[in-house]
A and B are shown apart, each in its own frame.
Chain A
Amino acid sequence: NAGVTQTPKFRVLKTGQSMTLLCAQDMNHEYMYWYRQDPGMGLRLIHYSVGEGTTAKGEVPDGYNVSRLKKQNFLLGLESAAPSQTSVYFCASSSGTGDYEQYFGPGTRLTVT
């Protein structure tokens, strides 16, 4: 039982490049989330999903897109990376059935130059 995994762990992009971050969970959770963590800002919600095929915007969705084609996977896309997107990205999941605990992945450190 791996819990929540994220791919890749590190990435360096040049401004304007695109990439996709992959999150996978093996706990059969309905809810999945993407956060970014910046110094002094805590964790801010980018997008989330309440089930397969659904997505919704969080606090800071601009510049990102997401897809949840399979229940176990939640993809975060950057179409045209900007230096302001340099951050550590965390994926999380929760059951959505009364247990409010979120389970987090180990994070992806992204640098945009």
Chain B
Amino acid sequence: DQQVKQNSPSLSVQEGRISILNCDYTNSMFDYFLWYKKYPAEGPTFLISISSIKDKNEDGRFTVFLNKSAKHLSLHIVPSQPGDSAVYFCAASNSGTYKYIFGTGTRLKVLA
């Protein structure tokens, strides 16, 4: 049973436009959510996170939104740049456990 789902395997966006990546979860015990970015042949790198006590967190061009009632979070990238082309993973945790469950990833391609 996939507790964290990224239903879009891939997404293409024009440079300068907004990229929206989505993530759904099923476990109501999750209270901390993270987004990672992964380039080919490299390990994932941390991008942005959000606690369940918030509904929005912003860091430069990246904003994560959390809708607890819908068990849904999204990552917005504005404006999108070609260097943002990568695979994006969302991850969820029950903060008491420090274990992370990852989604299957969304491959973002930003077209110049």
Contacts and interface: CB of A to CB of B under 8 A. Distances in A.
A75 B32 CA distance: 27
B98 A96 contact: yes
A36 to B, nearest CB: 11
Given A100-B93, A101-B46, A31 B104 contact: no
Nearest to A95: B98
Contacts of B34: 100-102
A39 to B, nearest CB: 9
Interface residues of B, number: 25
Interface of B: 4, 6, 9, 32, 34, 36, 41-46, 49, 89, 91, 93, 95, 98-105
26 contacts: A40-B9, A42-B6, A42-B103, A43-B44, A43-B89, A45-B99, A45-B101, A48-B98, A48-B99, A50-B98, A92-B43, A100-B93, A100-B98, A101-B34, A101-B49, A102-B34, A102-B36, A102-B46, A103-B46, A104-B45, A105-B43, A106-B41, A106-B42, A106-B43, A107-B41, A107-B42
Interface of A: 4, 31, 33, 35, 40-45, 48, 50, 58-59, 90, 92, 94, 96, 100-107
